[in-house]
Amino acid sequence: MFSSYRLYARGLDTIRPMDTFDTSHIRNFSIVAHIDHGKSTISDRILELTNTVEERDMESQLLDTMDIERERGITIKSNAVRVMYTADDGETYQFNLIDTPGHVDFTYEVSRSLAACEGAVLVVDATQGVEAQTVSNANLAMNADLDIVPAINKIDLPSAHPEEVKIEIEDELAIPADDAVCVSGKTGEGIHDLLEAIVFLISPPAGDADAPLKALILDSYFDEYRGVVATVRVIDGRIRKGDQLVMMQKGHGFLVDGVGVKRPAETLVDELAVGEVGFVVTGLKDPEAVHVGDTLTYRDRPCAEPLPGYREAKPMVYTGIFPIDNKDYENLRDALEKLRVNDPSLIWTPETSVALGFGFRVGFLGLLHMEVVKERLEREFDLDLIATSPSVDYHVFKTDGEMLCVRSPQDLPDVTRIDHIEEPFLKAKVIVPPEYTGAVMQLSIEHRGVMTDMVHLSQKSVEMRFDIPLAELILDFFDQLKSRTKGYASLDYDFADYRTSELVKLDILLSGDEVDALSFIVHKDKAYALARGLCDKLKEIIPRQLFEVPIQGAIGNKIIARSTVKARRKDVLAKCYGGDISRKRKLLEKQKEGKKRMKAIGSVEVPQEAFLAILKVED
């Protein structure tokens, strides 16, 4: 179900993208933007204006094909679509449009996509101006040597101030903004100008059609019937069905089963020529065989050297992922492997929990990434899963001098054998209007942050820098920052270093038994408040049972907080006559189904969300 593309494409006969295009008529570009600045709507308009999609088939967020993307209105996966555009000069150009994610968690997807492009359309919201991700995406694009076309979006809004945004683009990004195109993804205004700008401002691909094949694997997904399907950018040479290819890093070879392009439905073509972007059906059944970032070449006539690979995305957050039903363990492993084909940032190791049985400790780029992966595993592979409290990578120095990397509270050695623990710190950069600096400072203090610098960038924005533990940032920091600054703050961060902190392991006991999957590593000074908050939250989440369930928070043997889920007193439907009997039985069955989604820990039925209760504890 990775390719749930609806059939939007027009008939093969009308497309003619298989006509050989000389590279001067090809434009490969990405659209990059801060989240919510409207790149998906602009992509939709481009598809519409170039008649790639008939108006009647038009629905919003066309390139976001995953259900999660559409529901949340975000882009998670990159997507490459071919569009034909007849420009004002009368020539027809082939555009390969690569949509990219906007959230900070998915930055690495952006850099992958950019490697396939010669240019980028940088979308900036005409009402909000340059934001954190505008800056980081612009930097990524400039580092990749791309031609940048600034586009100022949402000019239909009354609060739009495009002239000021142009100045911001020049001042903050050092990108000339005289040629910036003013557009409205909503009304379609200016989209034609944007297409013309793409033709004239973005360079055509360079490349040698006669050289040995050199193609970059941008992305891949697993298809039940066709095996691994890889999205590629041809740098030199061409790919045709029947070609014998080899992946230069992994070494696997395969016979090309077919090549095609997305318009946005998948359409087979005769060849992917030099400079073009499209997909290759590999027929490979092992998801692990294809590595995103690898270079494809001919088996018999290889290119001299592979393209530089990508910087591997480093996970920041680790959580335990367990199937509710232990029988699903192998299915979960399979699902993770299949998901990794198109999300190479995923890493995992097996983990065993007394409470939850066998599962995996999975590394994520951030909490949004975690949520998305968990949701995709549940939906696309029909699994019921429990995710446990997120943890970072702690360095634990033992009294015997050994250093352990601990990503799960369960792996923490006994306190008597710990000399000290170091935790990762970040250098965080927050840009806010001056009136919110107090609120941000307060928030930073609450999260053990230390302010290192504060600079007035302009009358309207202040840049605050502080060092903050990663563990604090991964919980609710970002949401809190947004809510306390009414959404004005932007956040960017980089790894700083490891620092010694006084950390303790907080255990949770249900009915007197420690539940390892609920343990959490926390700073000593915050342990009491967190224990209390967690006990109260769990009391809300755990439904009343037949017996009273005491919930306790403990550090070592010391109980520091407690709450109680009272025993359920009444659960009966008293009226049950002739016609009611079938209905009552169905109700009992429904109750039982509900219980199946819970995990029995000892005699206590615990709902999935209890294991992430830590994310819901309010300060």
Q: Which of residues 399-458 bind other proteins (CB under 8 A)?
A: none
Q: Which is nearer to other proteins, 314 or 585 (CB)?
A: 585
Residue 327 near other proteins by CB under 8 A: no
Residue 581 near other proteins by CB under 8 A: yes
The string of DSSP letters for 300-327 reads: SS--SSPPP-PPPPPP-EEEEEEESSGG
User: Min. distance of Cβ 581 from other proteins in angstroms?
Assistant: 7
Beta bridge partners of 233: 216, 277
Q: Which stretch binds other proteins (CB under 8 A): 40-48, 123-131, 369-377, 571-579?
A: 571-579
User: How would you classify the pairing of strands 450-456 and 503-510?
Assistant: unpaired
Q: Which stretch binds other proteins (CB under 8 A): 292-300, 409-417, 533-541, 573-581?
A: 573-581
User: Min. distance of Cβ 593 from other proteins in angstroms?
Assistant: 11
Among 417, 591, 594, 602, binds other proteins (CB under 8 A): 591
Q: Residue 539 in contact with residue 551, Cβ under 8 Å?
A: yes
Quick one: tokens of 35? Answer: 């989240």
Residue of 236, 348, 248 whose CA lies nearest to 293: 248
Residue 571 near other proteins by CB under 8 A: yes
Q: Which is nearer to other proteins, 415 or 587 (CB)?
A: 587
Q: Which is nearer to other proteins, 512 or 579 (CB)?
A: 579
User: Min. distance of Cβ 576 from other proteins in angstroms?
Assistant: 6
Residue 570 near other proteins by CB under 8 A: yes
Long-range pairs for 105-109 at CB < 8 Å and ≥24 separation?
105/364, 105/365, 105/366, 105/367, 105/368, 105/369, 106/76, 106/365, 106/368, 106/369, 107/136, 107/140, 107/313, 107/365, 108/310, 108/311, 108/313, 108/345, 108/365, 109/76, 109/77, 109/78
- d(CA 537, CA 173) in angstroms, rounded, equals 44
Residue 576 near other proteins by CB under 8 A: yes
Binding mask 501-540 for other proteins (x = CB under 8 A): ----------------------------------------
User: Min. distance of Cβ 164 from other proteins in angstroms?
Assistant: 45
Q: Which amino acid is at 524?
A: K
User: Min. distance of Cβ 587 from other proteins in angstroms?
Assistant: 8
Residue 593 near other proteins by CB under 8 A: no
Give how many residues touch other proteins by CB under 8 A: 23
Residue 564 near other proteins by CB under 8 A: no
CA angle, residues 140, 144, 145, in degrees to nearest 5: 120
Residue 582 near other proteins by CB under 8 A: yes
Helix axes 367-380, 329-342, angle to 10 degrees: 120
Among 11, 90, 512, 579, binds other proteins (CB under 8 A): 579
- d(CA 477, CA 5) in angstroms, rounded, equals 36
Residue 314 near other proteins by CB under 8 A: no
- d(CA 470, CA 480) in angstroms, rounded, equals 15
Q: Residue 590 belongs to what H/E stretch?
A: helix 581-596
- d(CA 544, CA 547) in angstroms, rounded, equals 8
Quick one: tokens of 241? Answer: 């069905």
Residue of 94, 339, 52 whose CA lies nearest to 221: 339
Among 22, 305, 402, 589, binds other proteins (CB under 8 A): 589
User: Min. distance of Cβ 584 from other proteins in angstroms?
Assistant: 7
User: Min. distance of Cβ 327 from other proteins in angstroms?
Assistant: 17
Q: Residue 464 in contact with residue 432, Cβ under 8 Å?
A: yes
User: Min. distance of Cβ 594 from other proteins in angstroms?
Assistant: 11
Among 7, 574, 593, 618, binds other proteins (CB under 8 A): 574
Residue 568 near other proteins by CB under 8 A: yes
Q: Which is nearer to other proteins, 255 or 588 (CB)?
A: 588
Q: Which of residues 536-555 bind other proteins (CB under 8 A)?
A: 546
Q: Which is nearer to other proteins, 487 or 594 (CB)?
A: 594
User: How would you classify the pairing of strands 549-555 and 558-565?
Assistant: antiparallel
The string of DSSP letters for 424-440 reads: EEEEEEEEE-GGGHHHH
Q: Residue 293 in contact with residue 217, Cβ under 8 Å?
A: yes
Residue 584 near other proteins by CB under 8 A: yes
Q: Which is nearer to other proteins, 455 or 588 (CB)?
A: 588
Residue 158 near other proteins by CB under 8 A: no
Residue 600 near other proteins by CB under 8 A: no
Q: Which is nearer to other proteins, 308 or 594 (CB)?
A: 594
Residue 304 near other proteins by CB under 8 A: no
Among 4, 578, 593, 618, binds other proteins (CB under 8 A): 578
Quick one: tokens of 110? Answer: 């952006």
Residue 577 near other proteins by CB under 8 A: yes
Quick one: tokens of 560? Answer: 């520091």
Q: Give the single-character DSSP code of 477.
A: I
Among 588, 597, 600, 602, binds other proteins (CB under 8 A): 588
Q: Which amino acid is at 13?
A: D
Per CB under 8 A, residues contacting other proteins are: 546, 566, 568-579, 581-582, 584-585, 587-589, 591-592
